[in-house]
Amino acid sequence: VSITIGDVSRAAGVSIKTVSRVLNKEKYVAADTRARVEAAAATLGFRPNFAARALAGHRSFQIVLIYDNPSPYFAQNIQAGVRERCAVDGYRMIAQPCDSGSANLIDEIGSLIDQAQLDGVILTPPFTERADVRQALAARGVRYVMISPASIDAAVPASFIDQAEASAAMTAYLIGLGHRRIGFVMGDERYASSHKRLEGYRRALDEAGIAFAAELVQPGEYNFETGSLAAAALLALPMPPTAIFASSDDMAAGVLATAHRLGVSVPGQVSVAGFDDTDLAAVVWPPLTTIRQPVRDLGYAAADLLLVGAEEPEQRQLPFEIVARGTTAAV
Amino acid sequence: VSITIGDVSRAAGVSIKTVSRVLNKEKYVAADTRARVEAAAATLGFRPNFAARALAGHRSFQIVLIYDNPSPYFAQNIQAGVRERCAVDGYRMIAQPCDSGSANLIDEIGSLIDQAQLDGVILTPPFTERADVRQALAARGVRYVMISPASIDAAVPASFIDQAEASAAMTAYLIGLGHRRIGFVMGDERYASSHKRLEGYRRALDEAGIAFAAELVQPGEYNFETGSLAAAALLALPMPPTAIFASSDDMAAGVLATAHRLGVSVPGQVSVAGFDDTDLAAVVWPPLTTIRQPVRDLGYAAADLLLVGAEEPEQRQLPFEIVARGTTAAV
DNA sequence: TTGTAAGCGTTATCAA
DNA sequence: TTGATAACGCTTACAA
């Protein structure tokens, strides 16, 4: 029922192959021939068939974004960025949420690649740290890029922000506000970002000549509940912190809730800061001071690295920003 | 490089067509033949090629979920449900966020269907109310189902909850708590749900013999900011409400923030209720009393309706639930 | 710069 | 219940 290349070629009075050339923007097509073909295609409303292109061309014009499911906010924004970049080149993005604990993860990813003839893969944490996943991709010869990998692999393009630096900046910001005892709520240990954020916190303390106190660091798992618990522990300390830096907004929201529950005023008795600038930051009370990661841009950059495909892999570091809101106040 | 049907047929000592039959679970294959083929396929690690299947079979084993981008929470959960159901039958879901204001929306959707040979479409609001979209689908003969349509179309399967009833239940709950002046924050007028929720609110007031007061209803757009503004207007009334029912959690969070800002205690001076039970409900302070929509189940049910494809279109109504939390308290 | 012919890996048709 | 053969709509050789 659909218009095919054959229809277009007949209408334009050229061969099928020539239409194909125009479609693929190949060189060596006379300008007027190209114009004629394009006109015919437009008139007929021709849409190339994905399946046929994939079958014959061994490529699908599809890339897949593999992600775990930490925060819907994060996933949505990364996806939006990737999608936007894909649209520029006529690619489509397949969003593939994966369970990082799944036993047959490799098999799932592998079969997706084989069956769909994917042109590329974008890996996000914690899959960036999975040697088995990366090896499966390499084995199939699929191009892939990473978002926020734990460590830079010169051979694999990546987009990221300097997490330790961002964390240090927030800590320094709190120190600048006059705080000396700053609590820190750490993220899920399985994510490299957790360790980097802690590292930045410690570095900023060092640089300010403030001694590190182990009791001021509480574990967490990047979610509300663990943030609440961590705050309870911190606020129960004989000498409680005057500020708490939770290394994710969800945990910061938990810190806030605990403070409210205990009747501790924010920012009167304790300042609170988060990390990520999710939608959450603006809808809790008081609104969170936090670090804005350019999540959407990270997705866009990653797709760009994948689709452009330069000879030497490129690493792209993006800027972050501290967004000051009501949970911290100058002394 | 990949294993093909031909390889399997050779290994199993049958024809290509027979392998295809097994693959498609067709009838008329001897049990032992089937077993032999399946064994061979498993041994070789055979994965059918999507593109070839789509090209030859005029079907792609793919369905598309078309959604606007209101809340990431909503989108994620609907998607999870749809994906889960798809996986059961070996289908894949394509998530297609669309701008409802886009001029060439029809064209985008149409070409996606033509090019990808989609087997079905799931429509969510506000696309369920777009006659042009639905007509474009019908014109192409694509099966489609709807989630939470404004009105039931007997010819189109749909999954939904009774929004008016849910809203009435929440209003009745607040009345049961002793409230007589209950503010209502309405959602975006473009969504049918907004009107249904208002309708339920009014119905419950009627049933309790409480006169409707126009000044207690404020407009909103399902987001935090409009919730904040609405609350400011309500709390500034000469006779302010003792409870505020915001018809979405995001707006309820805005109501909360305004109350905090104005020093109005919750639930001491004003009770607050929301609608949706997004992740938000549990991370604000105090936690929101709200209505739990089985979002994931709505997605699952929709995909089920699409894939099962009964003769007579089926309408599937799912249950909702009031989740009482700290923002309301018994008198 | 353009065209011809041979696939790509599956399903549909029709015969056995 | 099975199999041969022709599509499916496009791209990749390879010629011209």
User: What tokens does A290 get?
Assistant: 């936090």
DSSP bridge partners of A276:
A292
List CB contacts (< 8 A) between A70 and chain B: none
Test mutation, B91, B114, B117, B250, chain A, max A CBs within 10 A: B114
The pLDDT of residue A309 is: 77
Q: Distance (Å) from CA A268 to C1' C4?
A: 81
Evaluate whether A214 touches A182 at the Cβ level (below 8 Å). no
Question: Is B60 near strand D, with its CB below 7 A from some atom of it?
Answer: no
C-alpha neighbours within 13 Å on the C-beta side of residue B197: 27
pLDDT (tens digit per residue) in A77-124: 999 999 999 999 999 999 999 998 888 899 899 989 989 999 999 999
Provide the pLDDT for residue A27: 85
B25 sits within 7 Å of strand D by its CB: no
Instruction: Say which nucleotide is closest to residue B3, CA to C1' distance.
Output: C9
**What is the identity of the amino acid at A141?**
G
User: With 60 as the cut, is the pLDDT of residue A331 above it?
Assistant: no
pLDDT (average), residues A286-293: 96
Question: Cβ B261–A285 below 8 Å, yes or no?
Answer: yes
- Our measurement of CA A18 to C1' D13, in angstroms, reads 15
- List of A residues 30-49 with CB within 7 A of strand D: 46, 48-49
**Residues A261, B2: C-beta atoms closer than 8 Å:** no
pLDDT digits (tens, 9 = 90+) for A252-275: 999 999 999 999 999 999 999 999
Determine whether the distance from the CB of B15 to the nearest atom of strand D is below 7 Å.
Answer: yes
pLDDT at site B330: 61
For residue A1, pLDDT over 80 is answered with no
Apex A104 CA angle, A98 and A109, nearest 5: 55
Average pLDDT for A62-70: 91
User: CA(A4)–C1'(C13) in Å?
Assistant: 22
Q: Which of A4, A44, A50 to mutate to test the interface with B (most CBs of B within 10 A)?
A: A50
Give the count of Cβ contacts less than 8 A between chain A and B: 106
Q: Give the per-residue pLDDT at B103.
A: 87
Distance of CA A3 to the CA centre of its chain: 39
Strand C bases, protein C-beta under 7 A: 1-5, 7-13
CB atoms within 10 A of CB A126: 20
Q: How long is the CA A36 to C1' C4 vector, in angstroms? A: 21
Strand partners, B261: none
Residue of B nearest to A287 (CA): B257
Cα of B208 to nearest chain A Cα, Å: 33
Which of B47, B53, B250 faces A283 most closely, judged by CB atoms?
A: B250
* From A48, A73, A92, residue closest to B72, measured CB to CB: A73
B124 or A330: which leads in pLDDT: B124
Vertex B125 angle, CA B123 and B126, to 5°: 110
Name every chain A residue with its beta carbon within 8 A of the beta carbon of B119.
none
Work out the minimum CA distance from B103 to partner chain A, whole angstroms.
Answer: 17
Tens of pLDDT along A173-227? 999 999 999 999 999 998 999 999 999 999 999 999 999 999 999 999 999 999 9
**Nearest nt to A57, CA vs C1'?**
D11
Give the residue with greater pLDDT, A70 vs B67.
Answer: B67
Q: Whole-number Å distance, CA A9 to C1' D11? A: 15
Cβ of B55 within 8 Å of Cβ of A60? The answer is no
Q: CB distance A52–B51 less than 8 Å?
A: yes
Which nucleotide's C1' atom has the smallest distance to the CA of A37? Answer: C2
For the CA of B188 and the C1' of D3, the distance in angstroms is 61
Specify the DSSP element, H or E, that contains A63: strand A62-67
Nucleotides of D under 7 A from a protein CB: 1-5, 7-13
pTM of this structure: 0.93
* Per-residue b or e along A283-322, where b marks 16 or more CB atoms closer than 10 Å to that residue's CB: bbbbbbbbbbbbbbbbbbbbbbbbbeeeeebeeeebebeb
CA separation (Å) from A313 to A143, A152, A305, B154?
A: 11, 11, 8, 55
Q: Which residue of A has its CA nearest to B224?
A: A283
pLDDT in tens, chain B (331 residues): 689 999 999 999 999 999 999 999 888 888 888 999 999 999 999 999 999 999 999 999 999 999 987 788 889 999 999 999 999 999 999 999 999 888 889 989 998 998 999 999 999 999 999 999 999 999 988 999 999 999 999 999 999 999 999 999 999 999 999 999 999 999 999 899 999 999 999 999 999 999 999 999 999 999 999 999 999 999 999 999 999 999 999 999 999 999 999 999 999 999 999 999 998 999 999 999 999 999 999 999 999 999 997 778 899 999 999 999 999 976 4
Torsion B18-B23-B29-B31 (CA) sign: positive
Cross-chain CB nearest to A114 (options B2, B97, B111): B2
Position A330 scores a pLDDT of: 61
Q: Percentage of residues in chain A with pLDDT exceeding 70?
A: 99
- Packing angle between helix A31-44 and helix A5-12, nearest 10 degrees? 120
- pLDDT tens figures, A141-168: 899 999 999 999 999 999 999 999 999 9
pLDDT at A196: 97
CB-nearest to B47 from A115, A279, A280 is: A115
Higher pLDDT, residue A25 or B217 = B217
Helices (H), chain A: 5-12, 16-23, 31-44, 50-57, 72-88, 105-116, 131-139, 163-176, 192-207, 224-235, 249-262, 280-283, 295-308
DSSP state of B289: B
Contact A52 B48 (CB under 8 A): no
